Structure 1
């Protein structure tokens, strides 16, 4: 049974560890935690039964998979410090940081090493076990290792294997789209306030409608446009609203938002 260690015990690690424990995917004793703030590490260990490591070095020396759940700006410090141990013990290295490529991580550890490195991009909704994650491994990572990491992230939602070059687009439609969706829900609820419905009630109504629509689409074999047609009665209210959205550039605005995210992400990666 694989031993999985987490360097960093923030919100995402907390969600992943709790998801793994809840799903029974692996024994809680096979999950290891290290964090520069011992209180956060110990709190998560107490909540989940995971094993505490006193240092990053101890964790790397113990586990089969190291998941780096640290901020991107810490990679250039943490990876070179751990490089000798990583090369010696040869665990699978997994990153959930945005903007740090597989090749950059390989260089930080040692360009001549044969490290198996996997990059994962989860999204905010992983914190409620409704996440969407993209997974990509370097040339040294095996299909079995990549599949294992996919299964880890399936414990908190959905996960798919994608080419790293497509991560910028994934970031736009999965990583940033929760913010776009929150904006849409807020716009719906503010429109309801205009007509006299209290904001809290309107937000609850709109959020549930969006949640149900997403589930409906996911569980249906229909395309989004087919479902729109099902809701749009001839001469009815829904088609009136759909046409008003299109008249004001709703679809074009969404595409432009995705364009902006992709361009920004690719420029950041170049830097």
Structure 2
């Protein structure tokens, strides 16, 4: 009986804080979702209650008056280009560091790992002038390149841990069958590292989608704004125009793709991070 009571208390001591934390995290999102369907008058009159009627006008205003549609498109472009470019650069680099024995390979890996410790803010000013010289300032593709480079150390670090456990005998067998080193990389190593690749790609995509400060620095024209900048602009306007419902609708538009992406790949992300931790 004592053991049963102790187990109940032990489980309650773990679960109750988790439940409270879940409520604290989900309730503001739920409140924001309800607010996106309210008029401004209803938000002031009944901020914590359910909407009296489902009002889609806030979403229409966000999409048309504040040009959220263009910002969503820009964020999709930046996220996709940045995530793909990160993989194109990171996969061969991780393979070379892990599989090809050359002088300085360990020091190169240490350099990439050390780069993870350097705050990105230290490079913002040099990057601003570099993008300006390359005529990539105020360009969403230039921003995508910056995003890709910023996530290279983390991506390489994760992928090398996955590639280190792949038996070299598979590469030798593929080479005997006539595959070139590039063929071995893309047809053998890459498919076997797919769990790690999917994990880092999703994490990078979420990072790129939500990023604000570099977009604020490197983008200047409103037509090139990403979703984070557009929401910041709407937030500033809401203080003077009372467009709080439009702001809530814009926030819902921003978080729904992330929630859907994470919900679809949640199991794969958890497996990839666990597997990567064990392999690392």
TM-score of the superposed pair, with normalisation by structure 1: 0.26
Q: Choose between structure 1 and 2: higher strand proportion.
A: 1
TM-score of the superposed pair, with normalisation by structure 2: 0.25
